[in-house]
């Protein structure tokens, strides 16, 4: 992490209304006033269970979802104030790698064209320069020259994802958003792709927004982690703090659900999971309402959680948490109570 801010989201809200009358009256707040920053050269993890708003956050940054409120600043520019057409420099700087590479590659084009077409769209006129750049990009992501002329169906899932990464990197981008980019791959391929992303980061001075529902994956690659729940940010912390001293009860529940390789750690997690299950109710409160969004599943719920939405506050160790347990007057007692449970 270099400490220079590249991306800053401040109070970003995205709502969806579909065609139905009911939905028009009750739009879904997919992300509700979320804020976080990403520094140059940093890998920031964005985690949370399915439906927590991770992909909507990515789509808002990529300008694939309309932002209702708030600010997205990238390298000094206000992204929400771009006109209908996203400037070419921004489309070059911010790239994405999605979960299913097959659906983002044209089945009728050989793999090289994923890169050469992108270069053409970005104004590289010479065909030989495009071909040369594609060959170079394939080499950087560990593909062989022969793979350039294969169709997506002739490549494995890991190789297809390497092509998607080659395309994302061919343009000398600054930020790559990986939305569940390794989730569909088997464990050993996952590890290879994560190593590749880490190697490329050092050689190309890249920042990553690394989205995953699995904390295990995030632990291996991320410097800092943002935890989302029901469209809100509930905790942000460095990798070390988050895994060693998780604060929000939801983060603790997520950690308890992460597979552990050591049998004793597995046993500890089983106990924690059981405790969490017992304390949990099945329903969730409506999005955007009053009170803590996690209150119906929280084992440490208090009266205040029913009526007051906890703000994201910065703690002394530098982490941020949106939980009444950490409100000033009760901090020491509540934190001690929480650590016991862990
Ligand atoms: N295009 C859309 N139209 C309506 N609702 C949507 C749309 N995209 C996402 N949502 C809703 O927004 C919420 C967050 O979704 P998403 O950002 O995909 O979560 P995640 O990526 O964390 O699984 C969910 O309730 C989802 O159903
Ligand atoms: Mg998603």
Q: Is the pLDDT of residue 336 over 80?
A: no
| Ligand nearest to the backbone CA of 181 | 2
**Helix, strand and coil percent figures for the chain, each rounded to 5:** 45, 20, 35
Rounded Cα–Cα distance for residues 218 and 269 (Å): 18
Q: Is the pLDDT of residue 89 over 60?
A: yes
Mean pLDDT, rounded, for 12-33: 82
Question: Considering Cα of 41, then 98, then 161, then 228, what sign does the dihedral take?
Answer: positive
Longest dimension (CA), the chain: 68
Residue at token pair 């992204």: 79
pLDDT-derived band at 23 (thresholds 50, 70, 90) equals low
Q: Is the pLDDT of residue 9 over 90?
A: yes
Q: What is the dihedral of CA 19, 25, 31, 34, to 10 degrees?
A: 140
| Atom 10 of ligand 1: nearest residue by CA position | 30
Decide: 19 in ligand 1 pocket, CB within 6 A. no
Atom of ligand 1 nearest to the CA of 228: 22
Rounded Cα–Cα distance for residues 247 and 231 (Å): 18
Decide: 56 in ligand 1 pocket, CB within 6 A. yes
- pTM > 0.85: yes or no: yes
Q: Is the pLDDT of residue 342 over 50?
A: no
The pLDDT value recorded for residue 214 is 81
Decide: 59 in ligand 1 pocket, CB within 6 A. no
What is the tens place of the pLDDT at every residue in 50-78? 999 999 999 999 999 999 999 999 999 99
| Domain ranges, ordered by start, for the chain | 5-233, 245-341
Can you spell out the DSSP letters for 240-279?
HHHHHS--SHHHHHHHHTS--SSHHHHHHHHHHHHHHHHH
| Atom 20 of ligand 1: nearest residue by CA position | 51
Rounded Cα–Cα distance for residues 150 and 107 (Å): 10
Can you spell out the DSSP letters for 269-329?
HHHHHHHHHHH--S--PPTT-SS-TTGGG-TT--HHHHH-PPPPEE-TTS-EE--GGGSGG
pLDDT, greater one: 275 or 186: 186
What is the tens place of the pLDDT at every residue in 123-139? 999 999 999 999 999 99
| Ligand nearest to the backbone CA of 226 | 1
Mean pLDDT, rounded, for 194-215: 90
The pLDDT value recorded for residue 129 is 96
Least confident span in 20-24, 169-173, 331-335: 331-335
Helix H or strand E segment including 202: helix 187-204
Mean pLDDT, rounded, for 186-210: 91
| Atom 8 of ligand 1: nearest residue by CA position | 56
- Read off the tokens for 239: 């990798």
Rounded Cα–Cα distance for residues 115 and 179 (Å): 19
The pLDDT value recorded for residue 312 is 95
What is the tens place of the pLDDT at every residue in 102-115? 888 999 999 999 99
- Read off the tokens for 296: 């119906």
Q: What percent of the chain has pLDDT over 90?
A: 71
User: Ligand 1 centre and the CA of 51: distance in Å?
Assistant: 6
Atom of ligand 1 nearest to the CA of 48: 22
The pLDDT value recorded for residue 340 is 36
Rounded Cα–Cα distance for residues 172 and 293 (Å): 40
| Ligand nearest to the backbone CA of 20 | 1
Rounded Cα–Cα distance for residues 143 and 22 (Å): 50
User: Ligand 1 centre and the CA of 292: distance in Å?
Assistant: 20
Mean pLDDT, rounded, for 176-204: 91
Mean pLDDT, rounded, for 225-241: 97
| Atom 25 of ligand 1: nearest residue by CA position | 51
What is the tens place of the pLDDT at every residue in 262-302? 455 555 555 544 444 444 433 455 565 689 999 999 999 99
pLDDT-derived band at 309 (thresholds 50, 70, 90) equals very high
Helix H or strand E segment including 169: helix 157-169
| Ligand nearest to the backbone CA of 179 | 2
pLDDT, greater one: 13 or 262: 13
User: Ligand 2 centre and the CA of 212: distance in Å?
Assistant: 8
- Per CATH, the number for 5-233 is 3.40.50.300
Decide: 30 in ligand 1 pocket, CB within 6 A. yes
């Amino acid at each position: 992490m270099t400490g220079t801010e590249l991306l800053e989201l401040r109070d970003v809200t995205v709502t969806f209304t579909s065609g139905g009358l009911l939905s028009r009256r009750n739009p879904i707040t997919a992300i509700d006033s979320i804020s976080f920053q990403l520094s140059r050269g940093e890998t920031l993890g964005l985690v949370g269970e399915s439906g927590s708003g991770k992909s909507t956050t990515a789509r808002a940054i990529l300008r694939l979802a309309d932002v209702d409120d708030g600010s997205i600043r990238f390298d000094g520019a206000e992204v929400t104030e771009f006109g209908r057409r996203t400037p070419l420099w921004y489309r070059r700087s911010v790239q994405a790698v999605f979960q299913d590479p097959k659906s983002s590659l044209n089945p009728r084009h050989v793999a090289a064209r994923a890169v050469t077409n992108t270069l053409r769209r970005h104004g590289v006129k010479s065909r030989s320069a495009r071909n040369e750049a594609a060959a170079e990009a394939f080499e950087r992501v560990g593909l062989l020259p022969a793979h350039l002329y294969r169709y997506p169906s002739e490549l494995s899932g890991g190789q297809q994802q390497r092509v998607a990464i080659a395309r994302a990197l061919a343009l000398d981008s600054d930020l790559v958003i990986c939305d569940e980019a390794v989730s569909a791959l088997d464990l050993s391929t996952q590890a290879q792709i994560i190593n590749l992303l880490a190697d490329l980061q050092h050689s190309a001075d890249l920042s990553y927004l690394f989205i995953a529902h699995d904390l295990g994956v995030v632990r291996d690659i991320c410097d800092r982690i943002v935890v989302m729940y029901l469209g809100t940010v509930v905790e942000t912390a460095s990798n070390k703090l988050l895994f060693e001293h998780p604060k929000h009860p939801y983060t603790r529940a997520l950690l308890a659900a992460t597979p552990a390789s050591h049998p004793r750690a597995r046993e500890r997690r089983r106990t924690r999971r059981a405790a969490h299950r017992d304390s949990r109710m099945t329903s969730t409160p409506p999005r955007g309402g009053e009170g803590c969004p996690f209150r119906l599943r929280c084992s440490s719920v208090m009266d205040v959680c029913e009526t007051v939405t906890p703000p994201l506050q910065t703690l002394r160790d530098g982490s941020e948490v949106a939980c009444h347990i950490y409100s000033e007057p009760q901090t020491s007692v509540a934190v001690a109570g929480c650590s016991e449970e862990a």
